[in-house]
Amino acid sequence: MATLSKNVLVCLFDGVVEAIDLHLKPETLHFGVDADPGTNSFSKKLRDAQGKENSSIPVPQNDTTHRVINIAQMADQIRKELNKKDPKLTSFTSAEFALQMIEGVEKVRFTQQ
């Protein structure tokens, strides 16, 4: 395996390649929302304590032209939605906000038929 430039990686294999998985480095985690097709709006899927997606909220925007998210309003919406699921929830910290907003990296698998 040799990196020829920032965007070019060459790999040689001894034998037949059955599958190749491509993904970004795990440290490239980021916050993310989902675009709603056909509209200029977005939504966010929320997770329970086990990480399972179980509801979603619309993403409040200050400016739909430039896609500016109203973070304070969004955090309040997330807190309210989570409170519906768990009425004992007394606080909503920045760490809990980050847990809801974080997105992992996508992985693409190429296989030989």
Each residue of 90-111: pLDDT tens digit? 778 898 898 899 887 788 999 9
Which amino acid would we find at residue 60? P
Q: Identify the burial level of 39 via C-beta atoms within 10 angstroms of its C-beta, where 0-12 means exposed, 13-18 middle and 19 or more buried.
A: exposed
Find the helix packing angle between 94-101 and 71-85, rounded to 10°: 90
Give the predicted TM-score (pTM) of the model: 0.67
Each residue of 57-90: pLDDT tens digit? 999 988 767 778 999 999 999 999 888 887 877 7
Q: Are 38 and 109 in contact (CB under 8 A)?
A: no
pLDDT at residue 75 in the model: 93
